[in-house]
Amino acid sequence: MTAQGYVALTPDSLPDRLGGLAVLRDRVGPPEGWQVREVGDGNLNLVFVVSGDAGQVVVKQALPYVRLVGESWPLPLRRSFFEYNALIRQQARDPGSMPAVLHFDESQAIVVMEYLTPHVILRQALIQGRRVAGLGERLGRFCARTLFRGSDLSMPAAERKADLALFAGNVELCDITENLVFSDPYFAAPMNRHTPGLDGIVARLRADLSLKVAAQHLKMAFTSRAETMLHGDLHTGSIMVTGTEARVIDPEFATYGPMGFDVGMLIANFLMAHLSQPGHEVAPGDRADHQDWLLSVVETIWRTFVAEFGDLWRTERRGILYQATLYEDQGHALAAEQALDDLLGRIWQDTLGFCGIEMHRRILGLAHNADFELIADPARRAECEARALAMGRQLMLGAGTIRGIGAVTAMARRMDKEDHL
């Protein structure tokens, strides 16, 4: 128990502790009949599925430490407060794109949510070679709506400043990102690990001074450019899917940051899914169609993001930035379009940089991706990971010269055929 009276739930204690909540009794049925399974497979939290006569819910509870590492790495419970606050804002900004929030208990760091079924984690589906109809459109819209509507392009200034202050309190989770994403991959940090066959390319990357500079420019953008409320950890493990639907989960890393961060991290995870596919082949080339589909999703995410962001720009630009009073109201609608193009160009460059750095940290740092980790043969895994490392470098260093999402998917196709070991 902590000073505040927090106690971690267990499957046995959960019915007694939460059985009095009307929202759970209504959704699940009388607690005497509840069955509880702990299903958390993420890096940080407890996740329970509670089933009863009337239905099911998910109970997510923060642990006072990093689950992946153990009690030696304490982590404040208040990340649950930031997750809850991010979820309710995302729900308002892109309704239906996340599980419905049913209850929040701040002192116990518990969020009770809709149980998504028959959804599975997107990353697992992609590893198995499964497709999701409309995925790129759904995710591109989610990014555009949440990023636009959480910014000074849309929000009343006082509300946005209050949110900026609120999410600035998510210090410890930002600290994880600041170290694990932006710094640790570029030196032999204590918690790093990588596939042994990568030693050569890892040494070359860590000796690449331009890359180190690029990484710190990106870190500075993350820490100082508070453009919008980010999801903060938008990878394929933070998305649940069926064959036709996708929902975004787990925004506990939410903070104000640059718009390209979420989009870049998301695209990186699809590119890693693509580059890891040869490691999941049963027969040579049997993942080729799936690889094509993954790259089509990458293109659709970006194109939908641009289209939706543009629509919002033209119809909902009611914040303090680029006001219509300066443009459309003066008969200068064309200048507003030019400003939109310029802004999207800046977001594009940021996206490429963040995309590249996410590809590095998932192979060189502490938190790896199952896409590569499940490739049993280390030599095969190293070949795939080396391509991702090389591509990450090209994205980070070439962000200013890469024109269009087609150039990124063409690069991924090329990399997939090359040997970077």
Candidate segments 113-121, 176-184, 331-339, 350-358, binder of ligand SR1 by CB under 6 A:
176-184
Using CB under 6 A, which residues numbered 295 to 334 contact ligand SR1?
none
Cα angle 16-118-254, degrees, rounded to a multiple of 5: 70
Q: Choose, by CB under 6 A, the member of 28, 66, 127, 267 that binds ligand SR1.
A: 66
Q: Can you tell me the distance from the alpha carbon of 219 to that of 299, in angstroms, rounded to the nearest whole number? A: 26
Q: How far is the CB of 135 from Mg ion (least distance, A)?
A: 19
Q: Contact region for ligand SR1 (CB under 6 A) — 10-18, 19-27, 173-181, 308-316? A: 173-181
Cα–Cα distance for residue pair 272/108, rounded to 1 Å: 36
What's the token pair of residue 240? 């649940």
Phi, psi of 112 (to 5 degrees): -100, 130
CA-to-CA distance for 104 and 73, rounded, in angstroms?
A: 25
CB 228, min distance to ligand SR1, A: 19
Q: How far is the CB of 30 from ligand SR1 (least distance, A)?
A: 35
68 binds, among Mg ion, ligand SR1, none (CB under 5 to 8 A by kind): ligand SR1
Gyration radius of the chain's alpha carbons: 22
**Per CB under 6 A, does 153 bind ligand SR1?**
no
Q: Which stretch binds ligand SR1 (CB under 6 A): 55-63, 124-132, 175-183, 326-334?
A: 175-183
Partner touching 367 among ligand SR1, Mg ion, none, CB below 5 to 8 Å by kind: ligand SR1
Strand partners, 229: 256
**How many residues touch ligand SR1 (CB under 6 A)?**
10
Q: Where would I find the H helices in 9-156?
A: 14-18, 22-28, 79-93, 122-127, 135-149
DSSP letter for 22, please.
H
What tokens were used for 55? Answer: 């239905």
Q: How far is the CB of 42 from ligand SR1 (least distance, A)?
A: 6
Q: Cβ of residue 378: shortest distance to ligand SR1, in angstroms?
A: 22
Positions of E strands within 310-403: none
Least distance (Å) from ligand SR1 to the CB of residue 195?
Answer: 18
Phi, psi of 339 (to 5 degrees): -65, -40
> Can residue 359 be called a binding residue for ligand SR1 (CB under 6 A)?
no
Quick one: 83 or 233, whose CB is closer to ligand SR1?
233
Interface residue with ligand SR1 among 7, 23, 39, 68 (CB under 6 A) is: 68
Which is closer to Mg ion, CB of 42 or CB of 150? 42
Q: Scanning the structure block, which residue is given the tokens 């409309």? A: 134
Confirm if 415 and 391 have CB atoms less than 8 A apart: yes
User: Considering only residues 121, 139, 180, 412, which one is a binding residue for ligand SR1 as defined by CB under 6 A?
Assistant: 180
The residue (of 189 and 321) whose beta carbon lies closer to ligand SR1 is 189
Q: Are 60 and 45 in contact (CB under 8 A)?
A: yes
**Any contact of residue 174 with ligand SR1 (CB under 6 A)?**
no
Q: How many CB atoms lie within 10 A of CB 207?
A: 10
**Distance in angstroms (rounded) separating the CA atoms of residues 101 and 18:** 16
Would you count residue 176 as binding ligand SR1 (CB under 6 A)? Answer: yes
Decide whether 148 or 253 has the Cβ nearer to ligand SR1.
253
Residue placing its CB nearer to ligand SR1 in the complex, 14 or 221: 221
Q: How far is the CB of 238 from ligand SR1 (least distance, A)?
A: 7
Task: Determine what percent of the chain falls in helix, strand and coil, rounding each to the nearest 5.
Answer: 55, 10, 35
Partner whose footprint covers residue 66, from Mg ion, ligand SR1, none (CB < 5 to 8 Å by kind): ligand SR1
Give the interface with Mg ion as residue ranges (CB under 5 A).
42, 250
Nearest by Cα to 58 from 73, 68, 48:
48
Report the alpha-carbon distance of residue 39 to residue 51 in Å, rounded. 13
> Rounded distance, CA 351 to CA 268, Å?
9
Query: According to the binding rule CB under 6 A, does residue 397 interact with ligand SR1?
Result: no
What part of residues 207-236 is at the interface with ligand SR1 (CB under 6 A)?
233
Contact positions toward ligand SR1, by CB under 6 A? 43-44, 66, 68, 176-177, 180, 233, 366-367
